[in-house]
Chain A
Amino acid sequence: MTSAAATPMSARYETVIGIEIHVQLKTASKMFCRCPTDIEGAPPNSRTCPICLGLPGTLPVANRRAVELVLETGMALEAEIVPVTRWDRKNYFYPDLPKGYQISQYELPLTRNGRLAFETSEGPVTVGIRRAHLEEDTARLVHAADPGGRRVSLVDFNRSGMPLMEIVTEPDLRTPEQARRYAEELRLLLRAIGASDAEMEQGQMRVEANVSIRPVGEAAFGTRAEVKNMNSFRSVERAIAYEVERQERVLDAGEPLVQETRGWDDDRGVTYTMRIKEGSDDYRYFPEPDLPPLRADPAWLEEIRGRLPELPAARRGRYTAGLGLSPYDARVIVADAGATALFEETLAAAGGLGLAGVTPKLVANWVSGEYLRLAKQATGEEVELAESAGAAARVRPEELARLIGLVADGSLSGTSAKQVFERHFTAGEPVEAIVTDLGLTQISDRDALAAAVEDVIAANAAAVADYRAGRQQALGFLVGQVMRATRGRANAALVAELLRGGLDDGGTTG
């Protein structure tokens, strides 16, 4: 099997990618009615009302929170906020759309002309954001066979009318990796704002990619394919890489590309034709007469702007420039909500406990290293951008601070500390209790170590002779023997000192 993602991009063609992302907004009620949004796991058609069922004679009223979340997202994306916006009807017939139209925003999206910067393996990239607008989600269709074997589609209107934000980029992206990193960074941003949980596997974030290629140097865009059904960030990268390769094969064979919608088959690692576009879609958009326009009052906008939290990029900047973390540690920690919380809280706990030796760098090492290793083990290898919030709850920040403090002041060896941390992560006991229970306290008492040092000198005549003959490396061997005898608990520096004293004494007296 060949890996599409590993295939280098052709030097003859340039790839052009634009991304459309739909995210379910985190509100308590739906977009235009008061049905609750707790549809995950709810019985089919149990979260509906005359408005989201599209019954005649109903009047939609927009959810303020949903509007504010889009405005906040627009601000985070440095986008322009449109002073007056309105709603439009997008008309088409499909069983998941009870009214025969979707309330959306066509000519006047709430926000437009923004941008988002993110990191890739080839350096930083900034993508233009064409627009972010608000619309309502459709019902969910399940394809099934009835007891008589007849193929049918089943409709669950629970999702109908859920608030949905659509974010569209300019066709600025050039590689499958850029597309993936953009989607990942956008997800972090949306989660930081609290606009959406943006779980791809649960359909809270749906990524579609418009992919085309053109000969290098050509200004006009090639014929594009719209790729859907990518259910993970990894799939986004793989699907686009496959699609680029496919389009190159078609053009190289002298055949024309057709404008179409293609689905990604994750198991087979290919895209396939879902729908050929014949002519442009005709949705007969027109202004929604049931919803009055929205005017973005400056005071309201200021209030929303005041709520913006520290965004992922700013946080990474603070971690590297302000706290001295490596770019790697900053990226890894900020990419994971659980790791971020644990890092911040452990640092705060260390301050509260007066543990001056527990530096941000040391805390970052523990969080990006041991903590994320155990969290990934606990949540499964498949988790992307490890969502370790649940795992983070297993570690008490003040305990981690104490543990790092014990290593910093030499009371605990690094190896022992990892053992203690793993047990704290698994069983939740306080660090001190685990250290005592495992008998891991470092032995820094001269008298306690003296016997072990004497035994080692007595038992290793050859190494002792080597040392006395001037071979310093023999001392390392002898220290190792004492460490072994004390199961790693001896303070190595003290052992070396005691050995030197004993050997040098022996040299002069014997």
Chain B
Amino acid sequence: MAALSHADVAHVAHLARLGLGDDELTRLEGQLNHILEQYRVLAELDTEAIAPTAQTIELENILRDDLPGPCLPVDEALAGAPERAGDHVVVPPIIAGLDE
């Protein structure tokens, strides 16, 4: 497990759209590498006989029937919108496909 570089931390911060200063990045670099260090300890365990899982609770196949239910009234749905035009939410202009 390779350690995170300063650039890695800056990249992850950008992906999460966190505007961090250089001193903050340095501090986080240390903290994140400390966390990774703990995983290195965990990775020493023999897990050969244990099936991989992404779950902490033992549930499977929780599905619901395809039955429509009620929706929010438009005013309620848009109550938290930063800006509203008619029944639309207004956001800064996005040129389709130029960024995502």
Q: Which residues of A contact B (CB under 8 A)?
A: 27-29, 33-37, 43-50, 53, 61-67, 86, 91-95, 141-143, 146, 151-157, 228, 261, 263, 274-275, 282, 284, 287, 289, 291-295, 297
Contact = CB atoms under 8 A, between A and B. Distances in A.
Contact of A34 (B55, B68, B77): B68
Nearest to A25: B66
A142 B69 CA distance: 27
B86 interface: yes
Closest 6 CB pairs of A and B: A34-B69, A287-B54, A65-B66, A154-B88, A36-B68, A64-B63
B50 interface: no
Q: Is the interface of B mostly helix, strand, loop or mixed?
A: loop
Given A36-B71, A153-B93, A297-B61, 6 more contacts: A49-B69, A63-B66, A64-B63, A64-B64, A154-B91, A294-B63
B87 A142 contact: no
Contacts of B100: 92-94, 275
15 contacts: A29-B69, A36-B68, A43-B74, A44-B86, A48-B72, A53-B72, A61-B62, A64-B64, A95-B89, A141-B96, A152-B90, A154-B85, A263-B97, A292-B60, A292-B61
A99 B98 CA distance: 20
B60 to A, nearest CB: 5
Contact of A151 (B56, B64, B89, B93): B93
B78 interface: yes
A152 B91 contact: yes
A66 B15 CA distance: 31
A49 B71 contact: yes
Contacts of B43: none
A47 to B, nearest CB: 5
Contacts of B66: 27-29, 63-66
B78 to A, nearest CB: 6
A292 B58 CA distance: 8
B12 to A, nearest CB: 8
B77 A48 contact: yes
Contacts of B93: 143, 151-153
Contacts of A91: 15
A496 B26 CA distance: 105
Contacts of A146: 85, 90
Contacts of B95: 143
Contacts of B17: 93
Contact of A46 (B65, B74, B94, B99): B74
B87 A45 contact: yes
B57 interface: yes
B67 interface: yes
A62 B66 CA distance: 9
B59 interface: yes
Given A91-B15, A152-B92, A152-B93, A44 B63 contact: no
B68 to A, nearest CB: 4
Contacts of A143: 93-96
Contact of A284 (B15, B56, B67): B15
A95 B94 contact: yes
A141 B99 CA distance: 13
Nearest to A33: B69
A48 B96 CA distance: 23
B82 to A, nearest CB: 10
Nearest to A150: B93
Contacts of B85: 146, 152, 154
Contact of B67 (A29, A43, A86): A29
A49 B72 contact: yes
Contacts of B11: 282
A152 B17 CA distance: 21
B98 A155 contact: no
Given A153-B91, A275-B97, A61 B69 contact: no
Contacts of B59: 292
B4 to A, nearest CB: 14
Given A155-B91, A275-B99, A295 B63 contact: no
Interface centre among A27, A45, A47, A155, by most chain B C-beta atoms within 10 angstroms, is: A45
Contacts of A44: 74, 86-88
A307 to B, nearest CB: 14
B72 A64 contact: no
A145 to B, nearest CB: 9
A344 to B, nearest CB: 28
A91 B99 CA distance: 14
A261 B98 CA distance: 9
A35 B62 contact: no
B9 to A, nearest CB: 14
Contacts of B68: 28-29, 34-37
Contact of A154 (B62, B72, B77, B89): B89
A284 B71 CA distance: 31
Given A62-B64, A142-B88, A45 B98 contact: no
B91 A86 contact: no
B67 to A, nearest CB: 6
Nearest to A95: B91
Contacts of A93: 17, 100
Nearest to A67: B63
Nearest to A263: B97
